[in-house]
Structure 1
Amino acid sequence: MITPVRVSYAVLAATIILAGVLHLSAPLLVVLFSYFALRQLYSLTRRKWLALTLFVIAVAGIAAAGVYFTRAAILALPDVADTSIPSASAWAQKRSIELPFTDFESLRQVVVSTLGEEANYLRNVANVAKATTTNLVFSILGIVAAASLFFKTGLDPYRGTHRVKNNLYSICCDQVSRRFRDFYRSFATVMGAQITISLINTALTAMFLLAVRMPHASLLIALTFLCGLVPIVGNLVSNTIIVFVALTMSVKLAISALVFLIMIHKLEYLLNSKIIGDRIRNPVWLTLIALILGERLMGIPGLILAPVVLNYLRVEMLTVEVPARREEVEVLSR
């Protein structure tokens, strides 16, 4: 007969494998992130409804900030182009480089004509729009699932009504809950390390932003921290936004920001492997290999899930005692 413990391990393994195969690792991360945030807010407020309200406000604020930055970037693009293109043209002329544009209008025409020549352009745009919409819907469903799980974690809520009390289904539910609870604890451990990395990254970036008096510095600092919760790639997103804002002031400031942020980005590679490796008590090289494999198998979400899976496997194997063989016992007794 199949034991409930084996069933629980099979369910967890199937969940992780299917998340990668069906490209559902992002929704899985949304569930884990949302539940983690709700638990942290609950530890501060000690009221679940208040924690949920604060979480919804935070999500709405992040979404509003994303819309604001996107709209501001679209509106500022012509001015940025008109400011930076003359400098780029002068730099190119000194080096005998001929650019296909001289102002924003000519740049727009070059982009439109280039995209028009691309046979698969419309299909690619449709695929991107479809993927974006799908991820958005799944993310909303993930947040709802995390909120539901936050209020009631049991898999068998009608256990008291079963005719057979110690039935296979209820015992399997207990074991599955235990497996996922341990997996979440591994996620919380990795997230604690990632928060430390994000704080270091945010502090270094804040010093630069305040030193050069960057516009919207406080908003950019908050964005840097939030993006820093995603290993490696989150830093790239925040860096792109910061360089774009710097470009609205001057080309020199944008280049300086780019160089400084690249240095921080390289530092984050070491911090990721070192801090996360120390937190989950794995060697740096093993953590780096896990990050690489996770990225290749699942993309960006794999960078977060790889250390989580690695830590979970270590913790689970530490709880299993392997009986020593007779030969080993005889050697140890001598």
Structure 2
Amino acid sequence: MEVKSGERPMITPTRLSYGVLAVTIILAGLLHLGVPLLVVLFSYFALRQLYFVTKRKWLALILFGIVVAGIAAAAVYFTRAAILALPDVADTSIPSASAWAQKRQIELPFTDFESLRQAVVNTLGQEAQYLRNVANFAKSTATVIVFSILGIVAAGSLFYKTGLDPYRGTHRVKNNLYSVCCNEVSTRFRDFYRSFATVMGAQITISLINTLLTSIFLLAVRLPHAPLLIAITFLCGLVP
């Protein structure tokens, strides 16, 4: 079936494109696939920015791979640093919190890091339940990592092969219904991505400003573990 340019005999492709976008978003929520969807959007956003600078897709993909590897290494480093620094941070902050609570006649269930850890375990109920929660957390983390990798690969594929109908020029009927539907669906997702890019561009700018001001304060007062706190400030600032 051929659709002549300039004619609009049907609006089914447009309606179909909105339906596909709506179903995708709904299924992402129902199937708990929000993380890979966000990874795809973030990755495609980063690839577009790198392409804007390099003007070459292959170079943008290489730089993106380097950036992803750097982020993964930084995540491992800061996670390890946070785990190692947590006892020191707790020992430094808990006495101040205890003194503040005593002045207001508030009784806290902990006085140091060890008692805080025990209070958390007791709150969970039993040691076995605590271990099950830790195992579930590890399983969820592994699932998120796998989905994130799949999302990165999907974003790279979408970036390198633009459009849902990359072989449109080989069709015997150039302006067929399938190609028209692909164009409409691509337009809907392109609009959705542009909305995401606008919001995230503003959010990144706000986060950078907050991180810069926080960094100046932390370095000025020489607060311990300043690099870790600066990284956490930037990551938290990305949340709308």
Which TM-score band applies after superposition, normalised by the shorter structure? 0.7 to 0.9
Q: Which residue number in structure 2 is paired with residue 75 of structure 1?
A: 84
Spell out, residue by residue over 1:24-73, the C-alpha distance to the aligned partner (whole angstroms, 9 max, x if none).
22211111111111111111122222222222222222222222222223
Q: Which amino acid aligns with 2:19?
A: A
Letter in 2 for 1:165: K
Counterpart of 2:144? 135
- Report deviation, 1:230: 2.2
Q: Secondary structure at the match of 2:32?
A: coil
Match of 1:57 in 2: 66
Contact 2:78 2:228 in 1 (8 A): no
Q: Distance in 2 between matches of 1:67 and 1:37?
A: 21
1:36 and 1:90, CA in 2 relative to 1: closer, same or farther beyond 3 A? Answer: closer
Deviation at 1:151, TM superposition (A): 0.9
Structure 2 residue 23 is matched with structure 1 residue 14: yes
Distance 2:225 2:103 in 1: 34
Which whole-Å CA distance do the structure 2 matches of 1:129 and 1:90 have between them? 35
- Check 1:85–1:13 CA distance in 2 against 1; reply closer, same or farther (3 A cut): closer
Q: Give the corresponding residue for 1:200.
A: 209
- Asked if structure 1 preserves the Cα contact closer than 8 Å seen for 2:44 and 2:156, the reply is yes
The residue that corresponds to 1:212 in the other structure is 221
Residues in 2 aligned to 1:105 and 1:137: alpha-carbon distance in whole angstroms: 34
- Local SS of the residue matching 1:166: coil
Matched, 1:28 2:37: yes
Map residues 102-113 of structure 1 onto 2, 5 A cutoff: 102-113=111-122
Give 1:1-334 correspondences, 5 Å limit: 3-85=12-94, 100-117=109-126, 120-215=129-224, 217=226, 220-221=229-230, 223-231=232-240
**Structure 1: gaps (5+ residues):** 232-334
Q: CA deviation at 1:158?
A: 2.8
TM-score of the superposition, structure 1-length normalised? 0.59
Aligned-partner SS, 1:214: coil
Change (3 A) 1:179 1:97: closer
What amino acid sits opposite 1:78 in the alignment?
P
Structure 1 counterpart of 2:51, one-letter code: Y
CA distance in structure 1 between the partners assigned to 2:46 and 2:147 by the alignment: 18
| SS of aligned partner of 2:42 | helix
Query: How many pairs are equivalent?
Result: 231
Q: Give the Cα separation in 2 of the matches to 1:150 and 1:83.
A: 48
Instruction: Tell me by how many angstroms 1:161 deviates.
Output: 3.3
Q: Which amino acid aligns with 1:117?
A: Q
CA distance in structure 2 between the partners assigned to 1:58 and 1:165 by the alignment: 39
- Return the structure number with greater relative CO, CA threshold 8 A, min gap 6: 2
Task: Tell which deviates more after alignment, 24-33 or 196-205.
Answer: 196-205
Structure 2 contact 121–130 (Cα < 8 Å) conserved: no
Deviation at 1:121, TM superposition (A): 4.1
- Report the CA distance shift for 1:25/1:160 in structure 2 as closer, same or farther (over 3 A): same
Counterpart contact for 2:14–2:181, Cα < 8 Å: yes
How far is 1:152 from its partner?
0.9
Q: Secondary structure at the match of 2:193?
A: helix
Alpha-carbon separation, structure 1, partners of 2:204 and 2:62: 22
Equivalent pair of 2:81/2:228 in contact (CA under 8 Å): no
Is the Cα contact below 8 Å between 2:51 and 2:57 reproduced in 1?
A: yes
Shift of 1:167: 2.1
Gaps of 5+ in 2: 1-9
Instruction: Report if the CA contact (8 A) 2:207-2:238 is conserved.
Output: yes
For residues 90 and 183 of structure 2, the distance between their equivalents in structure 1, rounded to whole angstroms, comes to: 60
TM-score of the superposed pair, with normalisation by structure 2: 0.79
SS across alignment from 2:222? coil
Structure 2 distance, partners of 1:163, 1:87, is 76
- Counterpart of 1:228 in structure 2: which amino acid? G
